[in-house]
Structure 1
C-alpha cells in the first residue's frame, strides 16, 4: 500500500471518529476537527460559533486534526512530482465538489453546515479512489469526482438501518396500512421509470447500428433528457419504453428481458427507499407541537411563508418536490415560495425572531397552532462510513449499476 494511502485512511479515520462522537454526543461539529485553517480564520475575524454548553472533555474540543489541509498538501505533492497539474489541485477541487454536494442537502434541510464541511473534508482526502478500491466508475479515475461515491456510499450504507427503524416504528404503532404502502403504494411507477430509462439505451443502440456513434457519456445525457420529457408526457414514455423493450428483445433475445427485470428491481428498491424516507419524515422523525413548545434550534418539518398577504404552509419534503418536478417536467414551477419565508426546515434550526413571528401569526389567527418539528439525526457517522467504504472497497452505486447491467 502506498504511503499516502495509509496517511489518508489514518487521518480520515481520526477525523471520522472525532466528528461522529461529537455529533452523536452534542450535535455539534468542531471546525478544528475538520478544517483548522477555517477555525483560525473565524477566530481571527471574531466569527466563532456562539459558546454552547457541551458535555465534552476540554482536551477533545482543543484537538487539531488538519484533515482538509493534509488532503490539499498530499495531492499537491503527488501532482508536482508526477508533472500532473490536475492531480496537484485535485485535493482543492475535491473539497469544492464535496462542498457543492453537501450544500445541495443543506439547502433541502437535510444536513447542517457541519455535515457539509465533513463531506468536503473527506472529499479533499479522497478526490480519486485509492488502489484499495476495486469497484469504481471510469469517470472517477479520470477526474476528481470520487466525492460523489463518498456521498452515495454514506446514503446507501445507512439505508438498511433507517429501513429497519422506520418499519419498527410502524409495527410498534400498529400502522399496518402505512406498512403496506411502503411496498405497494405507487409501485407501478417503478415499471414506468424502468421503461423510460430503457428508451435511452435502445435509441443509442439504434443510432449505433445505422452508423451514428453514440458514446457512453452521450447515452447517459440522452437518457436524462428523455427521462425529464417522459416525466411530463408519461403515456408517450410508456409507449416508447414498451417499443424499446420489444426492439432490444428482438436484437439480443431473453437477455434483454433479464436486464429489464434487474433494472426494475433496482428502481423498485429506490421506490421503497423513498417510501421509507417519507415514513421517517412524516412519522418516525417528526412530531406535531404548538408554537409554545418550539425552542431555538428546533428544526421545522415544513415551510411557513407569506404570499400576497396570505400565510401559507408547505409540508412537502425534498423528495416530494423532486417527484413533482419530474412529473411536470419543470423544476422552476416547484419554487412555490414567491413571498416572504417566515421559517423553513433548515438544519440550522429556528431562530428566536422566527419563533416570535410564528407566535404573532398564531395570535392574529392567521396560522393554525400546530407545527411539525423534526427530531435531529447525527449524519457524521454515516458520512464517515461512506468514506471508509470508498477508501477500502469502492463505489456502492457503481456496483449496483454494474450488477444491473449484468457485469
Structure 2
C-alpha cells in the first residue's frame, strides 16, 4: 500500500531506519546505559543524505532544509537539557539524529487508517521532533512502571497488576458509554496521578543503592547532593523541589562553577572524573564518609521509541488542531 507511490516509499524507509536505530539504541540503553555514538552518527548522516537525495529528485530544497532545520533546533533543545543535567550526551546526539530523519511525522499508518475511513490530519510543518519530545516525556511513565514491575517482589508485583486492572475496569465505562472526552480525560489523569503517587515509594527503593565513593565510576548518577558550605560537607538525600530551586538559582548565579556543589542527583550525565577526584579527596581527608547513594535513572531511549511508534500509528496528536 505504501509502495504505490514514491512519497509513500520514502516515508516508509525513514520509518524503518528510525525504528531500527531506536530499537538498537533502546537495547544498549537498557543493558549498558549508553547510546553508541556510531549509531547516532549513522542515523544523522543517513537522514541528511536521504533528504538531500529527495530534494534532488523533487527539484527543490525543501526536504533537506526541513531535515537540517529540525536537526539544528532539536540539538539545541536537547543540549540545553544536557547542560542542566536532565539528559545525557548520548540522548542528545540520538535525538538530533532522529530529528534529521524525521522533520515530519512519517505516519506510516495513515494509508491504512484512510482506507478504513479514519481521516486523521497530518501536520506538514517540520516540528515533529517537538511532538516526539513531548510524548517521550509522557512515555517515561509506562516505561518506569514496566521497570518497577520487573524489579519489585512478586507480592508487590501482583498488587500493582491488580491495581492496574482495577483502574482499567473503572475507566472502561467512560469509553463504552461515550462520556464527554473532557470528563474522561480528567478522570484518566486523576487515576494516572494516583498510580504515580503509589509507585513513588517503590521507585525510591528500586532505583537507588549505596556505593563506596572510592568505587565510583564516571557516569554514575548520584542519589544525593554533596556540597561544600564554609569548608564543611553537606549532604542532601533524594530529590525535592527545594533542591531543584537551589540548583537552578546556583546555576544561574554561577555558584556551581565556583565549586560550591560537587555532585547533584539532578545531573543525568552522571559524575565526571573531576568530581570523583574531589569526592575521593574529601574521603582521604576524613571530611566525609566513604559512601554515596547512586541512582539509576529511567532510560529515555525506550520511551522515545514508544512515543515514536504511537505517533506513527495515531498521527500528529499534538498538532491535531493545526
TM-score (norm 1): 0.55
- Which of 105, 117, 123 pairs up with 1:141? 123
- Does residue 1:94 correspond to 2:70, yes or no? yes
Structure 2 counterpart of 1:73: 49
Aligned counterpart in structure 2 of residue 384 of structure 1, from 280, 305, 318 = 305
Q: Which has the larger radius of gyration?
A: 1
Q: Secondary structure at the match of 1:311?
A: strand
Distance 1:323 1:126, change over 3 A: farther
- For structure 2, the residue ranges without an aligned partner over 5 or more in a row are 3-7, 111-117, 165-178
> How far 1:13 moved relative to its partner?
2.8
The alpha-carbon deviation at position 266 of structure 1 amounts to 4.8
Matched-pair contact (CA < 8 Å) for 2:144–2:298: no
Match of 1:27 among 7, 23, 33: 33
Q: Is the contact between residue 302 and residue 313 of structure 1 (CA under 8 Å) also seen in structure 2?
A: yes
Give the corresponding residue for 2:96: 120
Give 1:278-317 correspondences, 5 Å limit.
Answer: 278-279=200-201, 282-315=204-237, 317=239
1:85 offset after TM fit, Å?
5.1
Structure 1 stretches lacking a partner, 5+ long? 36-65, 184-256, 326-330, 403-407
2:314 is equivalent to residue 393 of structure 1: yes
* Counterpart mapping for 1:252-267 below 5 A: 261-267=183-189
* 1:222-301 superposed matches below 5 A: 261-268=183-190, 271-272=193-194, 275=197, 278-279=200-201, 282-301=204-223
156 and 20 in structure 1: CA distance in 2 versus 1, 3 angstrom threshold: same
* 1:338 paired to 2:250: no
In structure 1, distance between residues paired with 2:21 and 2:33: 16
Count matched residues: 285
State the secondary structure of the residue aligned to 2:123: helix
The 2-side partners of 1:24 and 1:150 are apart by 20
What residue is the counterpart of 2:167 in the other structure?
none
1:315-370 CA-to-partner distances (Å, cap 9, x unmatched) read: 454xx449976xxxxx7589698351322343443344422321332454544554
CA RMSD of aligned residues (A): 4.3
**Alignment correspondent of 1:371:** 292
Give the conservation status (yes or no) of the 8 Å contact 1:307–1:337.
no
Deviations 1:292-333 (A, max 9, x none): 44334322123323344443344454xx449976xxxxx758
User: Residue 10 of structure 2 aligns with which residue?
Assistant: 4
CA distance in 2, matches of 1:323, 1:142: 41
Equivalent residue, structure 2, for 1:15 = 21
